[in-house]
Amino acid sequence: MRERPLIDWLRRRIRLAANVHLGPGDDAAVLAAPAAGSRLVITTDVFLEGTHFAAATAPGPLGHKVMAASISDIAAMGCFPSASFVTLAINHSCGEAFVRELGEAIIATAEKYHAPLAGGDVASWPSPLAVSVTVTGETRGLEPVRRSGAQPGDKIFVTGLLGGSLLGRHLRAEPRLEEGVFLNRDVGVSAMIDISDGLSTDLGHLAEESGVGAVIRETAIPVSEDARKLEGQDGVPAVRHALDDGEDFELLFTVSPERAGRLKKSWKFDLAVTEIGEGGGSEVLLERADGARQRVEPGGYEHKWGE
């Protein structure tokens, strides 16, 4: 694979957004600064073949996934995406058709979710495919929602249905951008995170950052049809899949009891929003149907050094 023709193709293919004053092709990109009162939000993620995605993943779904997963982090801040930068380290033996299809999907998903590609790099090397994605966003007068704002007594909610994303949903993930901004601006949620590693792990992150425990009710967790299908295949309870599978890219958030009422009345999206528990205590607990409580161990996917 030769890099130059590919970069030329990418340059021709990219439509520059109004906020991108200088796109790919020069030594650096030039972007409009956020308007007064707005601040810059930046998130970066790396996706490694064999660790974050299987070698057999088709380029189209893969390109969509890396962008959707990265833009989901801007949604989780309750902010607006503005541009993206993608670097590809491609194995020497990888065909040009694969890379073009990957590039097409990256560009299309970036445009779809208002984070048009503004730059990046492409290089080939002897190792498996690695993709680095940076997404910029703007606060536009809003305060970004952090993981650390949950208070004892806050209600815990989650969007969508959880579990079993491995059956294919993880490759079709949709960042919850409109919902994230709505929760930030119109509801005033206290803490938020997107579910990438799994409800059990990401709730742990939120609780730890906030310095407060939580109790979630097993019977309240919105379990996806895919999670039930997986239970039929592997015998692991569907609710366990909903807790641990990850890559749902749904929003997990906390909100004061008063605002929770406002949220339920004003929720205007087709997507489900479900109250699953509340903040309090010092541990993260799961309440079973019979009332028994057990610690929620982070069972989600976490990448450990050396694995």
At its nearest, how many Å lie between Mg ion and the CB of residue 76? Answer: 5
Confirm or reject binding of residue 73 to Mg ion (CB under 5 A).
Answer: yes
The CA distances from residue 91 to 9, 10, 101, 119, 130, in Å, are 19, 18, 15, 20, 9
Residue 206 or residue 223: which is nearer to Mg ion going by CB? 206
Which listed range, 73-81, 151-159, 209-217, 265-273, lies at the site for Mg ion (CB under 5 A)?
Answer: 73-81
* 73 vs 138, beta carbon nearer Mg ion: 73
DSSP 217: E
Residue 197 CB, nearest approach to Mg ion (Å): 8
Q: Which stretch binds Mg ion (CB under 5 A): 71-79, 83-91, 100-108, 268-276?
A: 71-79
Residue 131, beta-bridge partner list: 47, 88
Closest approach, Cβ 135 to Mg ion, in A, equals 11
For Mg ion, the closer CB: 182 or 249 = 249
Residue 29 to residue 198: CA distance in whole angstroms: 35
202 touches 221 (CB < 8 A): no
Q: How many helical (H) and strand (E) elements, i.e. helices and strands, does the chain have?
A: 8, 13
Q: Which of residues 152-211 bind Mg ion (CB under 5 A)?
A: 194
The minimum distance between CB 123 and Mg ion, in angstroms, equals 27
Q: Is 198 left (phi over 0), alpha (psi -120 to 50) or beta?
A: left
Q: How far is the CB of 193 from Mg ion (least distance, A)?
A: 6
According to the binding rule CB under 5 A, does residue 248 interact with Mg ion? no
Nearest approach, Cβ of 194 to Mg ion (angstroms)? 4
Burial class (CB in 10 A: 0-12, 13-18, 19+), 191: buried
Judged by CB under 5 A, the number of residues near Mg ion is 2
User: Cβ contacts of residue 139 below 8 Å, gap of 6+?
Assistant: 34, 38, 39, 41, 79, 80
Residue closer to Mg ion by CB (options 194, 218) is: 194
Q: Which of 146, 158, 304 is nearest to 242 (CA)?
A: 158
x/- map, 22-61, Mg ion, by CB under 5 A: ----------------------------------------
Count other C-beta atoms under 10 Å from residue 116's C-beta.
21
Q: Closest CB to Mg ion among 119 and 246?
A: 246
Q: Using CB under 5 A as the criterion, which residues of the chain lie in contact with Mg ion when the complex forms? A: 73, 194
